[in-house]
Chain A
């Protein structure tokens, strides 16, 4: 079901372009499909989880739902992983999961027509090409469009546990 959803959305963006939420990680600008973004909030009250990679900051309580927080700055080794009142968390909703990602800053929401999106070459971005759907141009600046669903679902981030099937998850999901 998840793949079906994914491909449907891909098709949509491929055909007609879409709106992107742009954010910065270090010196690079990134964009993610606005439809995958649930909300943007500040960074606070993160409960640490033991024995996880450093970029998993822990979990937060988002109105009664427990949501993991990933610091992409640490994951991709860019910017400075400091936490203060201006630290921004983008709450993403993909793959039936709600996940918060910490970035350097959120810039804007932009609409990119499909024809202005170029395929991603093998480039030296911090992000692996696998997670890049294309490159957009915005005010003469390059915008790297991220396949956030693929990134969140990747083994690299270790958010989605591929070994546990869904039925077991439901058991404690009350």
Chain B
């Protein structure tokens, strides 16, 4: 295999680095989650092991991929954890914070490598020094347990700790050299697991080609390791976590040997154990459960590149369009003559929908991924502000599109900070108001109809109407005393608005709530506020379920077709003349005692429409964000599922549209954004 290499080389390397970055981020998150859940309690052995493993994995991966700076903090952290684990050093409550800080430091280094962000070396050095201090201080203290390198461990671990002989055969991926993997780190890590002097490594060439014909970057080497170790199979497999992706890794384990057994005398063999640990699988094993990240995970899963999933979603989208096109053609055919074709098409439609559902579900992830970040944030901020806060979450398992999860994390974080900073009062103030000194912040997610609703609720002071109005005036934002509460609350989303009397480093960093609004709107969401003075405030973000597929009603206006999202449609009607009125020169329609404004699409979009007078057309009654309106169209065409396409990929944002789709006839149709249309209508 002599594929030409060149510029792809670095790209390839980045791709493999990506695996490490992701694993590293996951390990950090896992570590943080455990640490936060502890409060100030001492971790139990299982938790301690989990934290240790996370730190160890990061260190190992960093070494293998050559991010040596990242091994520095992890190494000291690992040493401290190891001593804690072996009870050589007593646990101190302050260590939790120290570990959290160490996690942050590592995360900063990770961000440095991943996104090129600045790394504050002082912070790194500081954390490292304090970790070392903890080790040194602990070493002086009387240790409750036994030193690690003593022969006998704590009784409950005795069985696990008996050394046994392992033989590993590692046949790496031929590309291992160019992947930037440092074999020497792997060997060194493995050697660390072995009993002193009980490690042997032997490399063999699997092929011996003529030198001139050999590809010097292709790995022809196979390694065999023999070691006497007390490490678990998982620990051994962890060493190969980043390298043994699809390669065969074979492990033979002997029965534990008593150290008194003469060396080199093999104990009865247990046979070959297929490596079933994380990121390693046996290619012959296709039974469910053979794949898995961790041995004990019940639901097997494996990592797939996001672009592959997106590609799948796109392709299903194309299939949906093709299917719609076929159905449209078939409408014109004689149903009796083409009965089998029609039946086939019905079947195709059903299959396509099923496929679409399955594919879309791949993209869904639970919102707990985002919620899990907040305990830490709340803890830190509350401590800084001297506030007592209890964080509650609900609906953690609510699933939403992966793309949305990433985009919602920042706005949510901002709302949480805002609630802690401006919403919740200090314990003294709360007590003075007769409230419990501990405030409550609740995050809840649920699916309501076709949307995901996320609430950020606090039982603080609520929004202050007068203060907001005064501030808005000061910032030059148009406002008046006559505004309703809801309108006043919306003022805080105006660009340049900030009520914090002094800029704090929490929520008043110059970025205001307008950024929250902008970010949420960018993903088709809305933010609403409810507030009661003295009782608290509720910020509600509502988001579309998915960004990719939409149930829509296609309508015609002149030559053009538009899609109205079905979730905003209440009903459609042909108005009777007596229902139509004019108020202040604007057309309205009376429906069940309510006057609704008539939005003439042809006027908003400057189109030549066949119908310009409401009584001759069809009105589609819609409701979005608590606002109602009747949209005047020439005709209703069809109810259909449409694949949402971005106009912005190749063009700019189009006012009044929430994207576009491709219809069965291959033409592009805009998807209407109702709230924006209402605004545009008012400006006409």
Interface residue ranges, A against B (CB under 8 Å): 45, 47-51, 58-61, 64-68, 97-99, 158-161, 164, 167-174
Query: In the complex, A148 Cα to B317 Cα: how many Å?
Result: 32
In the assembled complex, B146 has its CB within 8 A of some CB on chain A: no
- Of the candidates B314, B524, B559, B658, the one whose C-beta lies within 8 Å of that of A64 is B314
Tell whether A61 pairs with B667 under 8 Å between CB atoms, given A66-B651, A171-B403.
yes
Q: Does the CB pair B321–A64 fall under 8 Å?
A: yes
Q: Does the CB pair B310–A174 fall under 8 Å?
A: yes
Tell whether A98 pairs with B652 under 8 Å between CB atoms, given A45-B666, A50-B605, A172-B523.
no
Residue in B313, B321, B519, B648 with the greatest tally of chain A CB atoms within 10 Å: B648
Q: Which of B177-185, B475-483, B639-647 contacts A (4 or more CB under 8 A)?
A: B639-647
Q: Does the CB pair B667–A172 fall under 8 Å?
A: no
Query: In the complex, A97 Cα to B649 Cα: how many Å?
Result: 7
Residues in chain A near residue B660, CB distance under 8 A? 47, 59, 66
Residues in chain B near residue A50, CB distance under 8 A? 604-607, 654-656
In the assembled complex, B560 has its CB within 8 A of some CB on chain A: yes
Query: In the complex, A64 Cα to B319 Cα: how many Å?
Result: 10
Tell whether A61 pairs with B662 under 8 Å between CB atoms, given A51-B655, A97-B649.
yes
Query: In the complex, A173 Cα to B650 Cα: how many Å?
Result: 10
Q: What residue in chain B is nearest A161 (Cβ atoms)?
A: B652
What is the predominant secondary structure among interface residues of chain A facing chain B? Answer: mixed
Interface residues of B in 281-317 (CB under 8 A from A): 310, 313-314, 317
Tell whether A66 pairs with B666 under 8 Å between CB atoms, given A172-B524, A174-B314, A174-B547.
no
Residues in chain A near residue B658, CB distance under 8 A? 172
Residues in chain A near residue B518, CB distance under 8 A? 168
Residues in chain A near residue B662, CB distance under 8 A? 61, 64, 66
Q: What residue in chain A is nearest B647 (Cβ atoms)?
A: A66
Residues in chain B near residue A173, CB distance under 8 A? 646, 648-649
Residues in chain A near residue B646, CB distance under 8 A? 66, 169, 172-174
Q: Does the CB pair B318–A64 fall under 8 Å?
A: yes
Query: In the complex, A85 Cα to B667 Cα: how many Å?
Result: 17
Q: Does the CB pair A169–B650 fall under 8 Å?
A: no
Residues in chain B near residue A167, CB distance under 8 A? 407
Q: Does the CB pair B522–A59 fall under 8 Å?
A: no
Residues in chain B near residue A49, CB distance under 8 A? 654, 670
Query: In the complex, A135 Cα to B26 Cα: how many Å?
Result: 56
Residues in chain A near residue B666, CB distance under 8 A? 45, 61
Query: In the complex, A83 Cα to B260 Cα: how many Å?
Result: 93
Q: What residue in chain A is nearest B645 (Cβ atoms)?
A: A66
In the assembled complex, B653 has its CB within 8 A of some CB on chain A: yes
Residues in chain A near residue B670, CB distance under 8 A? 47, 49
Contact with A along B45-77 (1 / 0, CB 8 A): 000000000000000000000000000000000
Query: In the complex, A167 Cα to B662 Cα: how many Å?
Result: 24
Residues in chain B near residue A65, CB distance under 8 A? 645, 649-650
Given A64-B318, A66-B668, A174-B403, 13 extra CB contacts under 8 A: A47-B668, A50-B654, A61-B662, A64-B645, A66-B645, A66-B660, A66-B662, A67-B650, A67-B651, A164-B648, A168-B648, A172-B522, A172-B523
Residues in chain A near residue B548, CB distance under 8 A? 174
In the assembled complex, B669 has its CB within 8 A of some CB on chain A: yes
Query: In the complex, A160 Cα to B653 Cα: how many Å?
Result: 9
Q: What residue in chain A is nearest B521 (Cβ atoms)?
A: A168
Query: In the complex, A161 Cα to B656 Cα: how many Å?
Result: 16
